[in-house]
Amino acid sequence: MDEDLTLAKSLNRLRPIHFIGIGGIGMSALALIFENKGHQISGSDTRKNKNIQKLLDKGVTIYNSQIASNIKCVLKEARLPPLIVISTAIPKNNAELQAAIQEKLEIWHRSDLLASLMEEQSSIAVAGSHGKTTTSSLIATLLAVAKKDPTAVIGGVVPYWGTNGHAGEGKLLVAEADESDGSLTKLNAELGVLTNIELDHTDHYENISEIIKIMKKFSKQCKQLISNYDCPVVRENFKDSIFYSTETHIGVSYAALPVKLEGDKTMAEIYENNKSLGKITIPIPGKHNLNNMIAAIAACRIEGLSFEEIKKGLEYIQTPKRRFDFQGVWQERLIYDDYAHHPSEVKATIEIGRLMLNSSTTPLPGRPERILIVFQPHRYTRTQEFLERFAKELGKADSIILAPIFAAGENPIEGLTSHSLEKEIKILYPNLPIFTANTLNETSLLVKKHSLKNDLIISMGAGNINTLWELLCKEKQSTYWNSKLAA
């Protein structure tokens, strides 16, 4: 693929687009949008998930393998030479990709396709180490309720639409800017949002200085940038930003100061340029979500939404799927799922769990007595880099079950397994009940054996640990929310 590819040219709507790895959260969002724009879409993936099913329901052709013959089939059906789209997850020796190269087809990275979308309309791009999906989902929802109907390319399912990709009729596009592989530097946004900066993706970055450098390049390509004043790394390195905060309203443009934190909601006072706009209640708990919320409010105010429109939009706010996502009740145990795969995210998720257990109001059906974390480490490099920090944060639970490390395409690191993490946790918390599985199925068996009635069970990780509910649901005693709770 030509890294110097100019993306200014508009895609001919008659041109087919073929996605290698179409089921990925970012790839499927783009596929949905371009299908809506009239392109003939096809793709391949070795897995089955809800993203793929949505595309199949729209008549998209999806091959369940990634072999060279797929390209011949695509060429046979194509009216014009297809554009081939890949993500960083697709290795160079992928047979389907190699076949596309041999056929001399044009190949774009997923970020190139997103960049082409952003060249067509005004855009809001959300970057940062944590909170991108939630913040971009909140922005998109507030704009949608205000009848701005944005296009949205989100790394999670937005509850308002029930999808991760929405082709809107409005002037704005809301998208996540992915720093994991550095591809966010291809994006040129009208408004950038920087949620925070922390070392992560150690398979790509050697140190935090490299991440700061990438974020600075991204910020220079945004016409305006709003940034999180509460993050010291952001505050020191992006001094020309429009700042927001949940700690102070002095010296920042936007602030949300917490009035009361509950297990089912957060009450806060909103400030704009040191002036109070009034108090709001957001129907999601956790101070980190309040931080995401003020970032979204700041972006929407800059885009012209009134405070009244924003308050109306709050009635429709929910966190995206896989962000403290309720799965159901299994044998009198509450099962939640969360995408947390970094120590800071683990910390924030456990804090929400404690808030739900201990505050006067809670969305939980009943009052759990313990927090049981079922954690699946994501990538060997991340597990190795943050072994001690993971141990420190996970140890704040009442009991832990560790699943095997989810490789995400990485080669194993000799001597590093989930048992290594168990040993580290036991050094810090010698009396904490902790159990380690060797397979995902064994993980569910350990949950059945060592969980207790009235446990709040939270599965965590960016891999396939979200299938825990399905594994547990093989038991006949599983139940879902009753209609009152679901409402």
Digit-coded pLDDT (tens) for 263-308: 888 999 999 999 999 999 998 888 989 999 999 999 999 999 999 9
Residue located via tokens 């699943």? 403
Give the CATH class of 325-486. Answer: alpha beta
The answer to which of 27-36, 74-83, 376-385 has the lowest mean pLDDT is: 74-83
Digit-coded pLDDT (tens) for 138-147: 999 999 999 9
Name the CATH architecture for the domain at 17-109: 3-Layer(aba) Sandwich (3.40)
pLDDT for the residue numbered 475? 52
Digit-coded pLDDT (tens) for 398-434: 999 999 999 988 899 999 999 999 999 999 999 999 9
Mean pLDDT computed over 182-194: 91
Those residues whose C-beta lies under 8 Å from the C-beta of residue 4, and which sit 6 or more positions away, are: none
Mean pLDDT computed over 178-203: 88
pLDDT for the residue numbered 456? 92
Q: What does the DSSP 8-state code read for residue 363?
A: S
- Residue 380, both tokens: 């060997």
Confidence check: pLDDT of 11 > 50: yes
Expressed in percent and rounded to 5, the helix, strand and coil fractions of the chain are 35, 25, 40
Task: Report d(CA 257, CA 268) in Å as an integer.
Answer: 5
Task: Report d(CA 108, CA 83) in Å as an integer.
Answer: 7
Amino acid code (one letter) for 393: E
The CA-atom distances, in angstroms, between 239 and each of 213, 225, 228, 229, 231 are 14, 10, 11, 9, 12
254-261/266-272 β-pairing: antiparallel
Name the CATH architecture for the domain at 121-314: 3-Layer(aba) Sandwich (3.40)
Confidence check: pLDDT of 243 > 80: yes
pLDDT for the residue numbered 387? 95
CB 200 within 8 A of CB 269: no
- Residue 214, both tokens: 């990438």
Q: Across the chain, what does the average pLDDT equal?
A: 89
- Residue 120, both tokens: 């067509």
Cα–Cα nearest to 397, from 347, 341, 343: 347
Tally Cβ neighbours within 10 Å of residue 290: 21
Instruction: Say how many residues make up the chain.
Output: 487
Task: Report d(CA 51, CA 154) in Å as an integer.
Answer: 12
Read off the pTM: 0.82
Confidence check: pLDDT of 342 > 80: yes
Those residues whose C-beta lies under 8 Å from the C-beta of residue 28, and which sit 6 or more positions away, are: 22, 51, 52, 54, 55, 164, 165
- Start-to-end CA span in the chain (Å): 49
Digit-coded pLDDT (tens) for 118-141: 998 999 999 998 889 999 999 999
- pLDDT band with cut points at 50, 70 and 90 for residue 10: low
Digit-coded pLDDT (tens) for 48-107: 888 899 999 999 999 999 999 999 999 998 888 999 999 988 989 999 999 999 999 999
pLDDT for the residue numbered 367? 77
Bridge partners, 335 (sequence order): 328, 457
Domains 17-109 and 121-314 share a fold: no
CB 97 within 8 A of CB 165: no
CB 357 within 8 A of CB 456: yes
- pLDDT band with cut points at 50, 70 and 90 for residue 3: very low
- Per-domain boundaries in the chain: 17-109, 121-314, 325-486
Residue 136 backbone phi and psi in degrees, to 5? -65, -35
Task: Report d(CA 209, CA 236) in Å as an integer.
Answer: 12
pLDDT for the residue numbered 483? 32
